[in-house]
Amino acid sequence: MTATGRVAAGPGVGGVAATGGGIAGDGPRARQVLPNIVERTSRGEYSMDPYSKLLKERIIFLGVQIDDVSANDVMAQLLFLESEDPDRDISIYINSPGGSFTSLTAIYDTMQFVRPDISTICMGQAASAAAVLLAAGTPGKRCTLENSRILIHQPSAQAQGQSSDLEIQAREILRVRALQEAMLARHTGRAEDEIRRDTERDTIFSAAEAKDYGLVDEVILSRKASASRRMSGVA
């Protein structure tokens, strides 16, 4: 978490805005327009942006804060790719500071719902809600690049209203925290008590530490090196 604090990325339940926060705080800044990719086929030429090209290769790129908009985009792509071919893997590349807990659960549940195996790959950072999605990939198919970092912590929340509403919101905050702990415990193999201790404050992992913790299965230096290890049977 930076000095800017955790940024709420979406509405919670009642007066609670449950959010994951993350390393970077704010969402992405303005950038140059990406050039289109031109492809030539027997039917002529057509162009597409790089993200559409990646989707054609069954790759979803989550490179923004996780909110209702980005969650809907990811869910739509997951469902589309399942309808295209339910037996081929889907890859989700992640470089995200985290975000809304309700948006996290929307993506998470869709990942568990669809039939294809889902490979998750961290490129840069997977913080808070994004770390849960990274860990939620199909076992054996969760990866991170060498210099990425992964952050876990408890969901933050903002509560307001009269005292009776605050009591309801307090119970919801505890429920949300317990749900995230159960998710991480399920996908890392760690006990929920250990997850609770480790998410009490920000815990930042290097790529190797994330593998040891069970958040990912492999640290990738390059596609070539990864393929060579698989062929030789080296983990």
Bridge partners of 92, per DSSP, are: 60, 120
204 phi/psi in degrees, rounded to 5: -110, 130
Cα separation, 145 vs 208, whole angstroms: 10
User: Length of the chain in residues, anyone?
Assistant: 235
DSSP 6: P
Distance CA 136, CA 119 (A): 9
187 part of the active site: no
Half-sphere exposure of 185 (CA within 13 A, CB side): 13
Catalytic: 128? yes
CA separation (Å) from 9 to 19, 84, 188, 213? 6, 31, 26, 27
Taking the C-alpha atoms of residue 232 and residue 181, their distance in angstroms, rounded to an integer, is 36
- DSSP class of residue 36 equals P
Q: Which of the following is catalytic: 70, 100, 103, 153?
A: 153
70, 96, 119, 128: which is the annotated catalytic residue?
A: 128
d(CA 91, CA 59): 5
**Both ends of the chain: CA-CA distance in Å?**
32
Q: Where are the alpha helices (DSSP H) in the chain?
A: 50-56, 68-84, 101-113, 129-135, 163-188, 192-198, 207-213, 223-232
Catalytic residue list: 128, 153
